[in-house]
Structure formats: C-alpha cells, structure tokens
Structure 1
C-alpha cells in the first residue's frame, strides 16, 4: 500500500510539473513567476565592452542635449547615420583620428584586451556589494565576446583578443558566488542577412546564437535589447522564451527583461526596465510597476567607455548611493554600468565609485538585500530625502541627508530602534501611530558611514 501511495504521489507530482509547461504566447509566458533571487539581489553591475571600446567616443552632456546621443557604444551607427543630428560630430572625429578610409571593422586590430584580468574584475564587483553581473555578449555591432559559430570571424576568439572574454569572466564571477547574465542585441545594424531577410536572420542566426549562449554558459539573466525594429512575433520571442522556460538548462533560475519586441516594454516578458530614468509606464514621480523592475544607467553619461567624459560627467559616490536607495525603496533594482577600456581595464574612477558603494553596503546592506517597498510609505516625489524599505515586520528608514529629527507615520510601536553601524542608543518618542526619531550626536569618528544613513524599526510594520 505504501509503495502504491508513493507511486501515486510521484505521478501527481509529474502531472503538476507537466501543467507548468509554458506555451509560446504572452499570456502563458507572462504567467511565469520571476525567481526570487532577482528581487532579493537589488544591485547588479552592467558591463558594456566591445569594438566600440576602441574609439570610445561620443559627445557629452556638455556638447549636446539628449541621453541617447551620449552613448559611445553607438559609434558605428552614429558615424554612418548621415541624417542623424550628431553624425557630423562623429564624422569629424573619425576622419581626424582614423582617416576617411578607416572602416569600423578595422577597430578589431586594436581590441586586444591585453590587460584583461577577469579575477580582478570579479573582485572589484564583489566588493561593490553587487549580487549579479550583466555583460554585453553582443551589442548592436554584432561582435560577439565568445566563440559564436553564428559570428564567424566576428568574435573575440577568431579575431582581436583571440580569447573567450565572456567565458573567462563568467568563470571568475561565478567563483565569487555572484549571478552571471548576458545582454544580447536582437538586431545587428549592418549584418547583410538582417538587412536583406529578417526571417532568415532570426531562424538561422539569432535564435541559434541565443540558444548556444544559454546552453554553453548557463546565464542567470538574459537581457535583450534592440527589439524596437520589429514586433515580438517577428523575433519569435515567445517561441524562444517557451524553450528557455521549458527545456533550457536554466529553466528554473533564469530571469529575462521586457525588451522582446517593439510592443513589449513594460507589458511583456520578465522584469520591466527603465534607463536613465526614462520610464515606460505611468508617471515618473508616482509610478507603480505591476512587475519587478530594474533601472539601468552608467556612472557617466555613456554605457561604453567614453574618453570625452571628464570628472563632472560622472555621478559622485553620494549620487550613486542615493540612486540605489531610491530605486530599492520604490521596489526596483539598480543595474549600474561600467565601461572597460579596449585593453581590458576598469577605469580607476569607476573602481573608486564602486568601492564607495561597497563600503556603504557593508554597513547598511540589510536595508537593501531581500527587502521590498513598504506599502505604507509616503508617495515618492523628486527631492525626497527620506525613503523606506521593509523586510518581514521590520521597517528601514533611509535618509539621504543627515536630519536631526525624522518622523515616521502609520506604524506600530517598534520593539527597538537602531542606527545601522552605530552601537549607541537612539532616542524616540511615539504618539499614536507616529514615531519621531532623534538622531544621535555623532562625530566624524563615530558616524557609521557617509552619504546616507539607515534606522531600523524592529517589528514596526502593521
């Protein structure tokens, strides 16, 4: 009888698993829950690296207004786009530095990555406090950072570094216990197959290449882009995602974004994406996302390394920590980008910013990892100095400015109130459901961190 019972239980389990198969339509694909590790991680590092890292040029905010015009990774397109408003800037730079006869493909001889040390990159990222990494496996230029059969003689093993850059970094990142993922451009600007026959490009190039990337390197994140040229039906996005969720080696753990067709952002896929606060759903101030979401941005104005940028073009450590606090308090993740040089170095200013973020996280990470937006928090407005996160019954009050008194409403009386990183007492007073926190008197020696401070209200959530 026991064996019969166990057999029936096994059959029921198998049947339940079978019912979880995802079909190649958005209703089914969108029903898949996003694995919890993603929302718990909160902070990731984006890495834009490719042939565009050789010219490493774009105008900056000082030169021209417009976020997308500052992206050095768009060098090839901006230089060739004769109708674009920034084309003359790129054309002048290219002709002066490289000459009119110098083709984009010629940059491959200078993309050597001779100073690339993946273990050092992984160490820098780990110390920043980030929990996942997203590397550009292939940007819109089509150059692959792994030995892709679909990009013969246009990948980092066949030419240039003659090295599996993606594979080497993946091994180093995973050794640190971090999640590893890949950005992948669905389209390629000047691929003849894409320009002449999109269907053949999708069937014979894009889908096989994506599947090779997944089966060979087993990513935790598949972060697609370049979807805007066609609807998801043309890209066969739901067919690929059904394979990813049903059959791939990462079907249980992988997360994907929302860039799968010109109609999909903030509507379909996995987590929703914003970029330099250019949001795609609702009002930027009081926006509510219906799914987990992630803000991506550079430390400067470009994703790829831009030699034109100077100190004032980079966000300060304080600004970056404030951005992290804001996004997490609103229920999102921050994917902060670094742009390595063509020879394989992470610029020192980017290393410094990441170190400062890591130092802050060492003190305050419990207010970030594994938290969710507090439902009773006041509506977000630009200029806010006080933010809230919640974990279980505990509420965290994050202030981006040192304040003598911090009011908190709509809570139960906390069991205890502490300032993270400070061992002394924090004085409070409670009236009804309103708490008043009095900041302790601290000195430069006793202050626990810089840039932002966190009070923990134990058991205060209603």
Structure 2
C-alpha cells in the first residue's frame, strides 16, 4: 500500500509539474497584445554593440551606385543587385544594368553568380576574433536575403544554398560555433519574402505555410539563435505572414524561447509598433528620420560602415564612415537608449575588407578604455534632448553617471540635476577638478598631452555615486 501510495503521489506531482511547465510554455498567444507583452531579454539592452553581416551571392558582383551617382539611400545597397537588374524605374537602376552587361555580358544570369561565391578564404574563427576584439557582444548573419539563397542547408532552398552549391559549406553553422565559442551572442537576419521565388509570386499563402515558416523553424531548431532579425515584410500585413503564430511558437516551444530577441519587421504595419526591439536604418524608420526621436522602447540602429550593407566595390574612401564618426554614432545611440548593429560586408572569397577591420579595431580600442560607459548602461532620464548638434552625452549604470564628450572641451562642463559624486576620467589617472553648487556639478577637464590622452575620439567622465 505504501508503494502504491508513493507511486500515486509521484504521479500526481509529476503531472502537476508537467502542467505547470505546459502552462508556462503556452503563455504567449498568437495575437499582438500577447506577443508584445513579452519583455525584451536583459542581455540585449546590456550588450549595446553588435555586428551585422550581409553576405550572399550579391557579394560576387559586389556593385551598386553610390552617393556620387545622386541616388537615394536604399538605392545604394549592393545586396539589391538582382532586383536592380529587373527594374529600371527607380534612380540608379539603369546604371546597374549597364554595369552588369559591361562586366558580365547580356546573357549572364544572376544564378550564374553561384559559381563565384567560393568563400575559400572564409575563416569563421578569424571573423569571431575580429568581432570580439571590436568589442561587439552579438553577431547577426544574413541567413537568407531577398534573393532566397540560404547560407545553411535549407530543405526549402534545395539547390539554392551554400551547401548544395558553392561553397559547399554550412556557413551559418560554422560561424555560430565560432561566435558562441567566444562567448558572444549569435543571431540571424531572415528575409520573409523572396523577390523571384515562383511560389511567392504565384501563391503567397502557400509560400508562407509550406516554405517560409518551415524554413524559419528549421533555422531556429538547428542553431538556437539568440536573435531572429526579420526583414522584407513590407509587401503584406503581419496577418498574411502569420507572424504572431510563428512568434507564439518561437516564444513558447522553440529551443530559443528563453532569451531570443526579435525585431519589429513582421508586417507592413509593424515597425515601431509590434514585435520585439524597434529598428532604425541609417537613422530612418521607413522614410521618417529618427536622429532626434525619443524612443522609449528598446531599439537598435543598423547601418553599414560604408553606404551599402553588402560589399560594394564601387565605394571609395568618402563612402566609409571614419572611426570617429562610428564611435560618435555608438555614443549617440546608447545615450538615447538604443543599440548599434554595425554592418560588415565580406567579399565573395570570405574576407572582411581591411578598411572595415581597421574601423572595428579602432572601436575595440576605444571600448577597452571607455566600455564602462557603454555596456550595461541605460538612458539617463534627466539628460537634455539629444540632437544632431549634441556634443555632450549621458548614460547611467546603477548609481553612476557617465558624461561622454564627442568633442573635447577646454572649458568647464556643467551637469544640471546632480549635486554629488566622485569624478574620474576613464583611462586617465590624474585628479579631476570639480565644483558643486546647488543642484549642479561642474567638471573642469584636465590639460591633456599626447602621453596621457586616453582616447583619440571621445572622452568619458564617470561620476560615481551621483544617482
């Protein structure tokens, strides 16, 4: 009787626990009210700086118009090469067609670029080292761009992926292993639509249910990504994409459910309204300029080091942001409560262009000294409104306030709204002169000489115990 009683109790206990886990696992329903109620995992807001990678068959022609061609921002994206060959109605598109016929011939099809996507110099461990040394905390790879070619052996992209065709490698899997081996978070960009997929053009509903959703689930199940960064959502509302149904699965049942972060590109109506983090792109939300927006929700700016995401051989030095500009951009986004997802565009043979490596190395050098003012911080609620003219920025962490100068000041800096705290300068060992008066604190920057200057680009004062 005792054994039977014990067995009964254990069965009841296990059943109760199973019911509890099942209840918890099904807490998110397939509607935006429920999906939007899920908190953004803390790791994302602490990370602040990530690396975007646009790599695919578009990296073979690696060409697009640039600003000197007087084209719009979206027309400069070399990863849109295939689309530009078939559409001569928008600015910049005819020049792509002319380049293609000159460089490859009128009969050269986009599919033929698969032969050139060799990746023979692709070393995921080397990439991971570059990203770690840059100070990045997460990486997002284009698992599939709008061309439909996947960087993993997707069954839905049979004979149109990096394993069936050149380079005959599981690029997504190799990079995931290398990046996670460095302790960084790994994620994937995924395009919902595909420009020229016959099924998509013929029957969107069948495309979504038999191609897109199974493909996304396969990606998540194989690699357990920390980020799923969707795009190409603008053709249809989220209902057509069955976005909430997929997200309910992702949050409730997928192997990534505990800490996965998603963005807001799940339907033509969702940016800055639904999903996970909100996204800006070269300071735009669609066509609205976000450079002075107050964004209360967790958000992320994405942009290239150059004016394109995919590698563009047509770009020159003036098309690339300088190291100072990139550090200033990082400071601006973090001070406004956001993250920076900075893109690199590898070459078709698997190299990260040296100019991009140099920019990342400079950012890493700066972050080694000043990262305390970036990682794990939040927006200071008393900060003056940030504008494109702002040169003094603020972040906070616990009881500490950070004052970030993107332009050196030889005159005192006064911070309103605080009256206490101990002031130091990150990377500088000397004493800092401070004056406290009423509800304000004034810092007199020290006289810096080359041998004691901690940074070439931006400088940080830490006010310990100010909050």
The normalised TM-score by structure 1 is: 0.96
Partner SS, residue 368 of structure 2: helix
Contact kept, 8 Å, 1:146 with 1:167, in 2: the verdict is yes
Shift of 1:340: 0.1
Contact kept, 8 Å, 1:57 with 1:75, in 2: the verdict is yes
Structure 1 residues 17 and 293: alpha-carbon distance in aligned structure 2, compared to 1, 3 A threshold:
farther
| Structure 2 residue aligned with 1:361 | 367
Contact kept, 8 Å, 1:399 with 1:453, in 2: the verdict is yes
CA distance in 1, matches of 2:144, 2:288: 31
Q: 2:429 aligns with which of 423, 427, 447?
A: 423
| Structure 2 residue aligned with 1:352 | 358
| Structure 1 residue aligned with 2:87 | 81
Structure 1 residues 222 and 79: alpha-carbon distance in aligned structure 2, compared to 1, 3 A threshold:
same
Between 219-228 and 160-169, report the one with greater CA deviation: 160-169
Structure 1 residues 438 and 14: alpha-carbon distance in aligned structure 2, compared to 1, 3 A threshold:
farther
Contact kept, 8 Å, 1:281 with 1:289, in 2: the verdict is no
CA distance in 2, matches of 1:16, 1:214: 21
Does residue 412 of the first structure (1) align with residue 422 of the second (2)? no
Shift of 1:280: 5.7
**Aligned 1:164-313 pairs, distance under 5 A:** 164-279=170-285, 284=290, 286-313=292-319
CA distance in 2, matches of 1:153, 1:59: 30
Does residue 112 of the first structure (1) align with residue 118 of the second (2)? yes
Size of the aligned set, in residue pairs, is: 456
Shift of 1:393: 1.1
Q: 2:152 aligns with which of 122, 138, 146?
A: 146
Structure 1 residues 457 and 260: alpha-carbon distance in aligned structure 2, compared to 1, 3 A threshold:
same
| Structure 2 residue aligned with 1:137 | 143
CA distance in 2, matches of 1:229, 1:281: 16
Shift of 1:323: 0.1
Partner SS, residue 126 of structure 1: helix
| Structure 2 residue aligned with 1:161 | 167
RMSD across aligned C-alpha pairs, in angstroms?
1.8
Partner SS, residue 323 of structure 1: helix
- Segments of structure 2 that go 5 or more residues without pairing to the other structure are 1-5
Partner SS, residue 187 of structure 2: strand
Shift of 1:14: 5.8
Shift of 1:10: 10
Shift of 1:450: 1.4
Shift of 1:79: 1.2
CA distance in 2, matches of 1:193, 1:283: 35
Structure 1 residues 12 and 431: alpha-carbon distance in aligned structure 2, compared to 1, 3 A threshold:
farther
Q: Deviation string for 1:114-143 (max 9, x for gaps)?
A: 110110000000000000000000000000
Contact kept, 8 Å, 1:266 with 1:280, in 2: the verdict is no
CA distance in 1, matches of 2:168, 2:20: 48
Shift of 1:64: 1.7
CA distance in 1, matches of 2:368, 2:166: 39
Structure 1 residues 284 and 349: alpha-carbon distance in aligned structure 2, compared to 1, 3 A threshold:
same
Q: 1:446 aligns with which of 429, 452, 456?
A: 452
CA distance in 2, matches of 1:389, 1:49: 34
